[in-house]
Every structure is written in C-alpha cells, then in structure tokens.
Amino acid sequence: MTIGPLLIRTLVPADAEAQPCPPARKPWVIATAALAAATALIDLPVVTMALGGLRAEFGASFAMAQWLLLLAGLATAALILPSRRLGTLHGHWHVLGAGLLVSALGGCIAGLSPRLDLLFFGRLTQGVAAAVVLPASAALIAVNFAPGERPGAFRTWTLTSGIGAVLATLAAGAAILAFGWRAAFLLPAALSLATWALLRLRVPIDFPDLVQKPLDLAGAAILFASGGLILVAITLAGIGFGLPVVAMLAGSGLVGLCLFGFWETGPAAEPMLALSRLRSPGFGLATGAAALAEIGAAGTVFLLPIALMEGSGRSALAAALGLGCYLAGQGASGVLAGRLQRRMAPPLAAALGSGLGAAALVLLALSVLADLFWLGVLPATLLLGLTAGAASTILLAEARRHGRASTTGDMQTVAIRFAILIAIAASGTIAALAYRDLIGTLAPALSASPAGADFAAPSAEAAGFLSQRMTGVRLAFVRAATVGAFVTGIAGLGALVLSRAGPAPPAPAAPKRNRHGPRTRRPAPWQERPASPAPEATPAKPKRGARRVEPPSSEPSRRVGAEKPRSEEPPPVPPRRGARRIAPPKLHQPSGPRPPRR
C-alpha cells in the first residue's frame, strides 16, 4: 500500500468552481486548514510570553525585543496579499505545504539560535511563512467545497481555528513554564510539521487556475519599507530620540505610502488593492473606526503578559490564561455582533460595542493595578475580546456595504494588520516613557543607569528594587490601557458619525435563477411604454379594366342546386340484412360457478 497525497485524476472543467473532493476527505480538509490557521494566529501571544526570558539571556532592551514581534508582523502584512496569487499559480495544496515547512524552519532557527541576529532571521522567516499559510488555509476550503457547502465549512473552520488557538496558547504557556522561552518557538514549529503531515496524507491536491496573474512584489516592497519607517519612528520615540529624527522617519514613511498609492493606481500591472474605494466617505470612516478599535485592544493585550509576569510576579501559564480568555472572547464576538445588529442599527451597535470595550479596558487596568487575577483580569479580558471584536466586526461589515466591491476585504485585511502593528509599537512607547518617569520617582538610584530605566528590564541593578520595579510596570500598564480606552472611545464616536452619514447604499439585487435561466423582473406599470399602433395598410388602387373579385362570404349560399356543406362526421353505416347482432360485452361478470354449456 502506497501512502501519499490523494491526487484526483478526474478532469475538471476550466470553469468549475470546486474540485470533486471525496466526502470522506472533507473533514480532514477542515481540520488541516484550522490547524494551519491556528499555528499562524498564536504567533503574537506566544512570543509575548517569551520576551522576559529572552531579554534575560541575550541582554536585549525592550525596544529590541519589541521588534521581534514587529518584524514578523510587518512581513506578514506586506506579503499576505501577493501570496494569494501563489495559490493560483502553483495550487493551494503545494503553497500551503511549502508555507508550513518554512514556518517550521523559522521556528527551529529562532528556538535554537545562540545569537540575537539569528533570532531575528528566524522571526522574519516565520512572518513570511504566516503570510503564505493564512490565505492558503482559507483557499483550501474554497477549492474543496461546492459553493452551497462553503458557508457551513467556513463557519466550522473559524470555530475550530479559534478553539485551536486558545488551546495552543495554553499549551505554549505551560511549555514556557516548564522548558523556558525557547519552547515558544519550538512548539509552533512542531505544530507546523504535524499539519504538514496531515496535509500530505489526508488532503487532496488541487489544480492551479488557468488564468495566470503576476505577483505585485514591487508594491509589497514599497509597503514593507514605508510601514517599517513608521514603526521605527514610533519605537525610537520610546527610546528617547528627539522630535526631528522621529518626524523625519515618520514623514519618510508617509511619503512611501503615497508612493505605494501611486504605484497601485498607475504602473502596477496587477495591483493588490483597489484604492478607488477610499473615495467613498462611508467606507473610509468605517474602516478607520474599526482600525481604532483594534488599536485600543491589541496594544493593551500586548502589554498584558509583561504586566502579569514582570509586574505581578505571575507565571507564564497565568499569562496564557489571560490571553486565552481574550482569544475566546474574540471567537464569540461574531454571535454578539449578530444579536446587536438585529436589535439596533449597525452604527449604533458598533458604538455600543466600542463603549463597552473602553469600559473593559478601564476594568482591566484597575484589576492589574490591584493584582486581582481570577475576579478581575480574566473577566475583563473576556469582556474586552467580546465587545471590541463585535465592534470591529460590525464596522468592517458596514465598510464593505459602503465599498460594494470584492476587493474591499483585501484592503481591510491590510489596514487591520497595520493597525495592530501600530498598536504594539505605540503601546510599547507609551509604557516605556511612563516607566522611565515613574521609576525616577519610585527609585531614583535605579533610573540613573540606562538598563535600570528600561521598561521591565531584568537587570542586575533592579535586583534590590524589586517592589519599586513591579509597581512601576503595573502603573505603566495602567497608563497604556487608559490611552487604549480613549482610542476605543474615539472609535465609538466614529461609529456615531457613521450613523449620521446615513445608511449604506443597497447592493444591486442579483436576478433570481431557475432551471431555464435568469428570471427577468417585470417592469412596473408606470415603466411600461404603450405599444404604438401599427400603421394601417393603404388599399392598392385597382387597374383600369381589371376584373373585380368579390371576397368570399362566410354565409352559406342560397342559390338553387347549391351543394350542401359536408359534415365533418361520416354518416352511420346501416347493418346488412340477416347479419347477426353482437351484444356488447358485460362490464360486470356475475360471481359464482359458471353454468354448464348446452
């Protein structure tokens, strides 16, 4: 028996919307896609829990450790759209397998690296692999399920990937607690290899598309460079660089974004984004409000493991529980978004969700400050993921209604990913500046050295000031969470402005189809035009000397000797003389024995 990938040898038409996947293989397709998506989704929370041990071993500053997250996220955000074309060029099965192998390789390099530069290279490799794995896992479901089965398959995929992300985060916290920070990189690598084996053995190979489109690598490079300059400017502000340097870098990044817009609207052969959608004020306002809601929540969640582990002295497993509650709330936010939209207008529902998210951030800040974990931190993180996720979901749906284009989802994907990166950089900068001011008041001797004034630095100088250091970390987290609550409240105000702008224009209804083809709608009575009467034919003038022919009359002729009209039925034939009369057969035969024949 040969064990290998299942290659379907059925000829698939060029216009087929799905390949003939066997029904027994469809659950394996969903499981493989969900495991691949969960492996890419746990990157941010798992690496955040490993920053403390990583900084203690390599002596890295907080800004340098922060760039371990920013570098991988920047590569993912810049390459996630061009990597979708790879599946159409080479097949989603092959692209997903290659992405999983590259992700495992990057995790092994980062987990086994003896130097910090190799660790950065491994993180960059993981970011590129995540940009390939995330769209390929969703496309794997699209090509193996018929159009009628896809909504249920995608719902199952979303649910299972969310549950897998929560369980993987808890497992990573337990592994970090038992084996150290290197387990944060080696565990995702092991999950990637297991997913690759499942893909190899249980998922059928799909066929590439016949229409080949080039990759927009130039646009991805411009986006990567311009986003990187903006993130560098934000992080340098936390280190203490002057305003001219920060403004120059940020301005260069904005110029790069303008160059990216010029490239996408002009010279690009196959642009990644349809930037003409930004002309719609409703689309831009709704997408910006959703990005602000993500910024307020993601920045606080990034600092939560640091505040719990370095500010409260809790373990990595406790930090994993807090992050797991946030991920669980985000997974259930779609249900809350649907119920809110059924009870009120979508902009008002988004404003309510943003307000509850801001209240959850304030509750989380007070819980961390008072060191209330079970009764404060866990419920607050669950409420934050539930409400902020619902607000973001509603606002993105409203933006798609205002945009009314198939490419609005791609633009929203890039916007939300860059918003999360800006939230990580900005919250880290706010926390670093707040910690430097607070530690100067709590422990002036500790703030004299650069290592002691670094945010949550596990340095030797801070050994004698443990309580002051922990208090400074918690207070810095409170300041960052307060700014996050303010930003989330601004997102709610944006949703209210969107409600004043009016409802989204209705999408054009698709014509109903039946088995005979598209059904056309009958126009309204006031839209029907009366048919113009046909011009009457002018009788031709008879020629001189021509014989006049009378038109035939429909009445019978009354002349003598005229032939009688024939009837359509023939006359009955009289019976012959002496012929035997045959009686008609009886319909009902008498029951009982037949009398004897005489």
pLDDT at 295 over 90: yes
- How far is CA 552 from each of CA 549, 555, 566, rounded to the nearest angstrom? 9, 9, 18
Question: What's the average model confidence in pLDDT over 352-380?
Answer: 96
pLDDT, residue 450, reads 77
Tokens of 451: 């290592």
Q: What are the pLDDT digits (tens) for 157-195?
A: 999 999 999 999 999 999 999 999 999 999 999 999 999
The larger pLDDT score, comparing residue 519 to residue 96, is at: 96
pLDDT at 5 over 80: no
Q: What are the pLDDT digits (tens) for 529-540?
A: 555 555 555 555
C-beta separation of 249 from 229 below 8 A: yes
Lowest mean pLDDT among 210-224, 413-427, 478-492, 539-553: 539-553
Question: What's the average model confidence in pLDDT over 198-212?
Answer: 84
What's the CA gap between 414 and 275, in Å, rounded? 12
Residue 314 is classified by DSSP as -
pLDDT at 304 over 70: yes
Q: What are the pLDDT digits (tens) for 258-289?
A: 999 899 888 887 788 777 666 778 888 899 99
pLDDT band at 595 (very low <50, low <70, confident <90, very high): low
pLDDT, residue 461, reads 55
- How far is CA 542 from each of CA 297, 376, 409, 552, rounded to the nearest angstrom? 95, 108, 76, 18
pLDDT, residue 515, reads 44
pLDDT band at 12 (very low <50, low <70, confident <90, very high): very low
Q: What are the pLDDT digits (tens) for 229-258?
A: 999 999 999 998 889 999 999 999 999 999
pLDDT at 480 over 90: yes
Distance separating the N- and C-terminal Cα atoms of the chain: 84
- E runs forming strands in 208-319: none
What is the pLDDT of the chain when averaged over all its residues? 84
Q: What are the pLDDT digits (tens) for 99-119?
A: 999 999 999 999 999 999 999
Q: Where are the alpha helices (DSSP H) in 449-567?
A: 450-453, 466-500
Tokens of 244: 């001219």
Distance of CA 178 to the CA centre of its chain: 34
The larger pLDDT score, comparing residue 271 to residue 586, is at: 271
CA dihedral 353, 355, 357, 358 (to 10 degrees): 170
Nearest to 31 by CA among 233, 191, 234: 191
What's the CA gap between 63 and 535, in Å, rounded? 88
pLDDT, residue 520, reads 46
pLDDT, residue 10, reads 39
Residue 308 is classified by DSSP as I
C-beta separation of 197 from 28 below 8 A: no
Q: What are the pLDDT digits (tens) for 392-418?
A: 999 999 988 887 655 567 788 889 999
Tokens of 70: 């920013």
pLDDT, residue 518, reads 45
Question: What's the average model confidence in pLDDT over 546-556?
Answer: 56
What's the CA gap between 488 and 289, in Å, rounded? 9
pTM for the model stands at: 0.81
Tokens of 411: 């633009």
Q: What are the pLDDT digits (tens) for 375-397?
A: 999 999 999 999 999 999 999 99
Q: What are the pLDDT digits (tens) for 427-478?
A: 999 999 999 999 888 888 877 777 778 898 875 555 668 888 899 999 999 9
